[in-house]
């Protein structure tokens, strides 16, 4: 299978099932050009895996969604869960090893850990929002600032 372009519009549908490898790249990037043939060769060897590329110049919103600051960056998904992300061009043996590691994942354990991480993230966001709301709320100490009974 040859590589396909990934866009913001096709992202969610693309990563929801199976193994998906995403290569974030740009035309002007030397290491990206070196990694491109390695990525393409792996796509031809592993026809059961989706190999997709994100042109960071064309898909700036998608690159920003991932917080891409260095290219090439490789991201791996399995069954809709991001399981790997790392900047840098991988040599062919390292890419093959990564593919085998992603294939070997115990997805029941991964899904459980992912759900726990999401729950912790939501809890942290709620706590931060509560703290911010408390900081913005007027402080009520029960002590009158003056003699006006309406000062409370």
Q: Annotated catalytic sites, by residue? A: 29, 32
How far is residue 96's CA from residue 92's CA, in Å, rounded to a whole number? 6
Cβ atoms 15, 52 nearer than 8 A: no
**Number of other CB atoms surrounding residue 25 within 10 Å:** 25
Residue 150 gets which letter from DSSP? G
Q: Tell me the two tokens of residue 71.
A: 């290219």
Cα separation of 42 and 44, whole Å? Answer: 5
The helix/strand/coil state of 34 is helix
Closest C-alpha to 3, from 73, 51, 69, 64: 51
């Amino acid at each position: 299978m040859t590589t396909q372009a990934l866009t913001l519009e096709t992202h969610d549908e693309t990563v929801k099932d199976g193994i998906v490898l995403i290569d974030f790249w740009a035309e002007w990037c030397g290491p990206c050009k070196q990694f491109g043939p390695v990525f393409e060769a792996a796509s031809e060897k592993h026809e059961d895996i989706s190999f997709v590329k994100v042109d960071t110049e064309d898909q700036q919103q998608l690159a920003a969604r991932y917080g891409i600051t260095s290219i090439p960056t490789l991201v791996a998904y399995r069954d809709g869960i991001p399981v790997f992300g790392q900047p840098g061009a991988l040599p062919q043996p390292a890419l093959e090893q990564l593919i085998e590691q992603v294939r070997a994942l115990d997805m029941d354990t991964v899904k459980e850990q992912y759900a726990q991480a999401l729950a912790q993230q939501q809890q942290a966001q709620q706590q931060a929002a509560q703290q911010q709301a408390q900081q913005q709320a007027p402080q009520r100490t029960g002590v009158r600032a003056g003699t006006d009974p309406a000062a409370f």
